[in-house]
Chains A and B, each alone.
Chain A
């Protein structure tokens, strides 16, 4: 067998001329190569199946940013601030003071009480004994549970309940301003003290849906349940990732359909898909062995790898069919395909890989992971596509149907390519360039609105119309509460977190912050102290002030919520509630906080930015903003350098890179218009788009240069290029776009954003390379020069 193959190889090498050392090595040991691939693929596939989902919060944030460093250092003391869920139970008609509603509320409260992970002692609802009404009387305080003693659902007891609710001070926090809903507030344990296990967000979120929402919607159709909180959001995100499997399947089907239409050949359809899936297995296997997991961002990479694999596979199929059509046998055709494509193939893939690796400069783990994952994926494709693919095809060749179709195409008049070749015509080219300049200007104009950070309200990870965000809207609009919180941490020596000096400074800072546009309100121990001092003075507003008497301060904060002071009173947060988390708001508030910190210096305390979701986003935005331009410059520098090295011509660099730059500008304009900010999810897309988009240009230019060398005039050369490569390039654009297309439908907003942008960039880069590249070539490339170089 191997002899026969060798014989065939030498025969074909005679027909097609001698190959390189690598080519000979590969094509004279095809069986060995195939067996090796099989073994390695099995090994990697096994590892790939062991890869763990990794959605940890820390990977999403810039760990080296000072805000985040401060936050993580104080994490234990801040914990009580964040992890809770709020379940609002609303009535569809009337108000909450009716027997059926209160009955259901009581049942749901019990249900939540028994959910694993809930801090039962801190659970709050109208039905829990810790929610009380208090009244100042001549003899001091008088109070009791909000649900009146002997409550029986009668009108009298409901009236009493209404009175108690008004006296409880819970309107706005536990009871909606319009009395149409109430909240069950359930703090959660990060680590369940009973089992010692960390909270299983997915399971918890599912329990909430099943045991609370579904169950009680069914039991009492006149109520509606709204659930928000970190645990619910994470649960929804994990659930959203489940859609990926479907997306993968749909993507493979779509791709195969297009391959069949393109090649009319079962072999040309199955082989690229197999090699691409092999590449995905390798990539995931290698990542697993390198110790990486897969997160909601890097889960995009296998799709890209698959799409890139297909697009390069199509080039090979295309070459082979061309060679086979010219009379060569399968092996010789494969060798020729290898020989012709190894240089542009490696160049394209290496520039992809380097494009991705520029992402490493961003100090956010999940982006670095994405860079590594994509880099590995592309490196793998070099091996699978340039070796495995032609070797497999060398056994099979194209099917007869495929060849017939290829011949038919080959012999057709290529009317559309003929038309397209006019793009390089001396009178069309200037128009194209003018249009490009116009497009670029328009793009730059709209791109001005491009914003940094997340722009949507609520949980930006999820779609604005997702159930979570609708629930969030409901709760925000009916309760005095904000979802966007910036926490300034204040550190002191133990037992000194409530001195008059510090409290006074916090009081002043809070007021100045409240005067900043975008700040809704603020809260801290000072707020508690003032409220309690007022309450202790018979509820008179004339006492709503911070006392400079330490013993009054101390007694006023004795029962402060645990999140507002740590156990040894050495850390206390100053909480700033914001209107939104737009980058401008965050930047404005953070700047003011910084200047306030400078304004009130003391050796007795340190103010540290910044925790809370707004602190994390502010830090992330700063890192992203700084990285954005550096990254763009780097990725273009890398791509240009690689083109320069390969083609040894500045003209080539300009021809290839200009369409990319146009796409980048238009992409940013698109982002600005669609309200997609530059953020953790979309920044990598810009690099990926350029890194992958350069492939088209490289293939077209290398073929064009090739044809020019053979002495064709430019338009003819371009026609020849389009005839051979153009189809493959357009197909590549479509397959790549298809690879990410399904993402547009992801329930996770940032995945959808990534999908939209990549879809746009892949298509536009293709259009740019086929339309603008030849126009530029008309002015920049001297056919004679190329052919004389060849002649020498």
Chain B
């Protein structure tokens, strides 16, 4: 079934022009951040990590810089032009035309044509420099403060300066290693304002549609630099970031200030999903942990997920239907707005990372085996 539905449009003659074609193509290997994704007819069968449904197009992202789109409700998938070939971890469109994809190497890509073509806005090297600049600025400020400080204040400032110098040193070491840290999720409130979160406390924000990105990493209390795995927003515009070791932050002012949530769980969160027209959301993660909030993330209540498999991605049908996908082929479905779930194990037992409702209870599922269309029972169509 899958092979019929997801048969790749044979658009690119280049893809399988075997043999000599590659040797004549003599870009004598640039960095993966500068190497366009290889055009592949089998990309739709390989690791994909996120998918979003637009009005007339579906867009999925995954390994090797693959961004695939389908304009015929998933029957065929074409590959978009992408300037990088790193693993892309998440995609988010603020509108039918403007979307961002993020991934390893600290890459942020933007599309202004609804996912057909992509350009690079930002990468890990810039991220590293941005963090260094900010650390240097902070050090300079502290040094200036120290000049004018009274003896009473000096002790505290000196302590803080020492910490700041350590941070600067860390940032410089990171920069030497290169663009090694991935972004793990992206969320745009509108076409101008958005956030990306990632490994080791990566958190950047933009107010100009991604032209410039500012380091917001110091706006959350994440001293251990835990991975920030997911970001989401309730219908009432509460932003929630969740990550490793149960860290969770929320913002009620559009992301300018962040408060630390008293997390109900101390394992890793992998996703946040808005589930109603108010302030409700689900948070889910390691070993089937699943929690629900109705107040924008202040208070969380545990939901019985009936599984111990890690939950990775979820989708809300706009009514009361929710589907969550995870490792080992697990699919959870709720028909009551997330108060109770049924567990299903897909036959292939492969992991899935993201899922999205498309129509009448049908969903598109992406993960280890690429893209699959499924029914509400988690079975392939």
Q: Which residues of B contact A197 (CB under 8 A)?
A: none
A588 interface neighbour in B18, B178, B268, B368, Cβ under 8 Å: B18
Instruction: Indicate whether A514 sits within 8 Å of B42 (C-beta atoms), given known contacts A138-B267, A541-B312, A544-B87.
Output: yes
Interface stretch of the complex, out of B25-33, B134-142, B252-260, B372-380: B25-33
Q: From residue A522, how far is it (CB to closest CB) to chain B in Å?
A: 12
Contact of B38 among A511, A537, A540, A545 (CB under 8 A): A511
A588, B19: Cβ atoms closer than 8 Å? yes
Q: Is B250 an interface residue (CB 8 A)?
A: no
- Find out whether the CB atom of B16 lies under 8 angstroms from the CB atom of A515: yes
Chain B hits for A516, CB < 8 A: 16, 18
Which residues of A lie under 8 Å from residue B78 when comparing CB positions? none
Measured between alpha carbons, how far is A508 from B308 in the docked complex, in Å?
A: 35
A515 CA to B42 CA, complexed, in Å: 7
Chain A min CB distance to B327 (Å): 6
A544 touches B63 (CB 8 A): yes
How many Å lie between the Cα of A542 and that of B198 in the bound state? Answer: 10
Q: How far is the CA of A591 from the CA of B22 in the complex (A)?
A: 11
CB-CB under 8 A for A591 and B18, given A508-B29, A514-B42: yes
Residues of A with C-beta under 8 A to B364 = none
Q: Which of A135, A545, A548, A596 contacts B178 (CB 8 A)?
A: A548
**Inter-subunit contact A548/B180 (CB<8 Å):** yes
The smallest C-beta distance from B209 to any residue of chain A, in angstroms, reads 25
Q: Which residues of A contact B353 (CB under 8 A)?
A: 541-542
Interface residues on B, range: 35 or more
**Is B338 interfacial (CB-CB < 8 Å)?**
no
In this assembly, does B210 line the interface, its C-beta being within 8 Å of a C-beta of chain A?
no
A222 shortest CB reach to chain B, Å: 25
B41 & A515 in contact (Cβ 8 Å cutoff): yes
**A511, B49: Cβ atoms under 8 Å?**
no
CB distance from A176 to the nearest CB of B (A): 13
Given contacts A515-B40, A541-B49, contact A548 B177 (CB under 8 A): yes
Q: Which residues of B contact A512 (CB under 8 A)?
A: 22, 38
Give complex CA distance A596, B29 in Å: 11
Contact pick for A592, options B22, B47, B349, CB 8 Å: B22
Kindly identify which residue among B227, B287, B351 contacts A137, using a CB–CB cutoff of 8 Å. Answer: B287
- Nearest CB in chain B: distance from A213 CB, A: 31
With a cutoff of 8 Å between Cβ atoms, the chain A residues found around residue B299 in the complex are none
Tell me whether A517 and B23 are in contact (CB under 8 A).
Answer: no
Q: Is the CB of A138 within 8 A of B266?
A: yes
Residue B201 CB within 8 A of the other chain: no
For residue B310, CB closer than 8 A to chain A, the reply is yes
Chain B residues in 8 Å Cβ range of A542: 49, 87, 89-90, 182, 184, 229, 353
Determine if B29 and A599 form an interchain contact, defined as CB atoms under 8 angstroms apart.
yes
Q: CB-defined interface of B93-129 with A at 8 Å, one 1/0 digit per residue? A: 0000000000011000000000000000000000000
Contact residues in A for B314 (Cβ distance below 8 Å): none
Taking CB atoms and an 8 Å cut-off, the chain A residues in 335-372 that contact chain B are none
Q: In the bound complex, do residue A543 and residue B32 qualify as a contact, i.e. CB atoms below 8 Å apart?
A: no
B194 within 8 A of partner (CB): no
Report the Cα distance A260→B247, complex, angstroms: 97
The A-contacting residues of B in range 135-186, CB under 8 angstroms, are: 177-180, 182, 184
Question: Which of A505, A514, A592 contacts B29, CB < 8 Å?
Answer: A505
Collect the chain B residues with CB atoms within 8 Å of residue A194's CB.
Answer: none
Closest to A137 in B: B287
Asked if B351 and A541 sit within 8 Å, CB to CB, the answer is: yes
Flag whether A171 is at the interface (Cβ < 8 A). Answer: yes
Residues of B within 8 A of A538 (CB): 244, 268, 286, 310
Whether the pair A541, B23 counts as a contact (CB closer than 8 A) is: no
A515 to B286, CA, bound (A): 34
Where chain B touches its partner, the secondary structure class is loop
* A88 nearest CB across to chain B (Å): 20
Contact A137 B367 (CB under 8 A): no
Q: Tell me if B284 counts as interface (CB < 8 A to partner A).
A: no
Bound CA span A676–B18, Å: 28
Range class of the A interface residue count? 35 or more
B19 proximity list for chain A (CB < 8 A): 588, 591-592, 595
Q: Inter-chain contact count A-B, CB under 8 Å?
A: 108
* Nearest CB of chain B from residue A164's CB, rounded to whole Å: 13
Closest chain A residue to B15, Cβ basis: A515
Whether a CB of chain B sits under 8 angstroms from the CB of A598 is yes
Q: How far is the CA of A516 from the CA of B41 in the complex (A)?
A: 10
Name the residue in A508, A516, A545, A592 with the highest tally of chain B Cβ atoms < 10 Å from its Cβ. A545
- Residues of chain B within 8 A of A599, CB atoms compared: 22-23, 25-26, 28-29
Q: How far is the CA of A514 from the CA of B46 in the complex (A)?
A: 11
Q: Which residues of chain B are near A137, meaning CB under 8 Å? A: 267, 286-287
**B35 CB contacts on chain A under 8 angstroms:** 508
Check B15–A595 contact: CB distance below 8 A: no
- A598→B22 CA distance, assembly (Å): 9
| Whole-angstrom CA separation of A517 from B244 in the bound complex | 41
A122-169 contacts to B, CB under 8 A, are 135-138, 166
Within 8 A of B (CB), among A740-792: none
A29 to chain B, nearest CB (A): 69
Chain B positions within 8 Å of A540 at CB level: 229, 268, 270, 310, 312
Q: How far is the CA of A599 from the CA of B41 in the complex (A)?
A: 21
Within the complex, what minimum Cβ distance (angstroms) separates B238 from chain A? 24
CB-nearest residue of chain A to B20: A595
The reply to whether A545 and B182 contact each other, CB–CB distance below 8 Å, is: yes
Q: Which residues of A contact B47 (CB under 8 A)?
A: 541, 544
Task: Please give me the residue from chain B that is nearest to A588 by CB atom.
Answer: B18
A541-566 CB mask vs B (1 if < 8 Å, else 0) is 11111011100100000000000000
Give the shortest distance, in Å, between A622 (CB) and chain B (any CB): 16
Contacts of B293 in A (CB 8 A): none
Please, which residue of chain A has its CB at the minimum distance from the CB of B270?
A: A540
Q: How far is the CA of A472 from the CA of B105 in the complex (A)?
A: 43
Q: Which residues of B contact A7 (CB under 8 A)?
A: none
A445 at the interface (CB under 8 A from B): no
With beta carbons under 8 angstroms apart, the residue of A504, A545, A591 that contacts B63 is: A545
Docked-complex contact A138 and B23, CB < 8 angstroms: no
Q: Is B64 an interface residue (CB 8 A)?
A: yes
Which residues from 582 to 607 on chain A have a C-beta closer than 8 Å to any C-beta of chain B? Answer: 588, 591-592, 595-596, 598-601
Residue A539, interface by CB 8 Å: yes
Are B328 and A166 neighbours in the complex by a CB distance under 8 Å? yes
With a cutoff of 8 Å between Cβ atoms, the chain A residues found around residue B15 in the complex are: 515
Q: How far is the CA of A111 from the CA of B19 in the complex (A)?
A: 49
Complex contacts, B87 vs chain A, CB 8 Å:
542, 544-545
Q: Is the CB of B368 within 8 A of A511?
A: no
A113 to chain B minimum Cβ distance, whole angstroms, is 30
Closest chain A CB from B46 CB (angstroms): 8
| Chain B residue with the shortest CB-CB distance to A548 | B180
What sequence of 0s and 1s flags, for each residue 365-394 of chain A, a beta carbon within 8 Å of any chain B beta carbon? 000000000000000000000000000000
Interface residue B86 (Cβ < 8 Å from any Cβ of A): yes
Q: How far is the CA of A547 from the CA of B106 in the complex (A)?
A: 12
Closest 7 pairs (CB-CB, A-B): A138-B267, A595-B23, A545-B87, A549-B180, A542-B89, A548-B180, A545-B104
Could you list 19 further interchain pairs (A-B, Cβ under 8 angstroms) beyond the known A508-B35, A596-B22? Answer: A136-B286, A136-B287, A138-B267, A505-B29, A511-B64, A512-B22, A515-B16, A539-B351, A540-B270, A542-B87, A542-B229, A544-B63, A545-B63, A545-B87, A591-B18, A591-B19, A595-B23, A599-B29, A601-B28
Supply 24 A–B pairs (Cβ within 8 Å), ascending by A.
Answer: A135-B287, A135-B308, A136-B310, A137-B287, A138-B266, A138-B287, A508-B35, A511-B38, A512-B22, A515-B15, A538-B286, A540-B310, A541-B367, A542-B87, A542-B90, A544-B63, A545-B104, A548-B105, A549-B180, A595-B20, A595-B23, A598-B23, A599-B22, A600-B29
Q: Hey, which bits of chain B sit against chain A, CB under 8 A?
A: 15-16, 18-20, 22-23, 25-26, 28-29, 32, 35, 38, 40-42, 47, 49, 63-64, 85-87, 89-90, 104-105, 177-180, 182, 184, 227, 229, 244-245, 266-268, 270, 286-287, 308, 310, 312, 327-328, 349, 351, 353, 367-368
**A contact residues vs B (CB 8 Å cutoff):** 135-138, 166, 171, 504-505, 508, 511-512, 514-517, 537-545, 547-549, 552, 588, 591-592, 595-596, 598-601
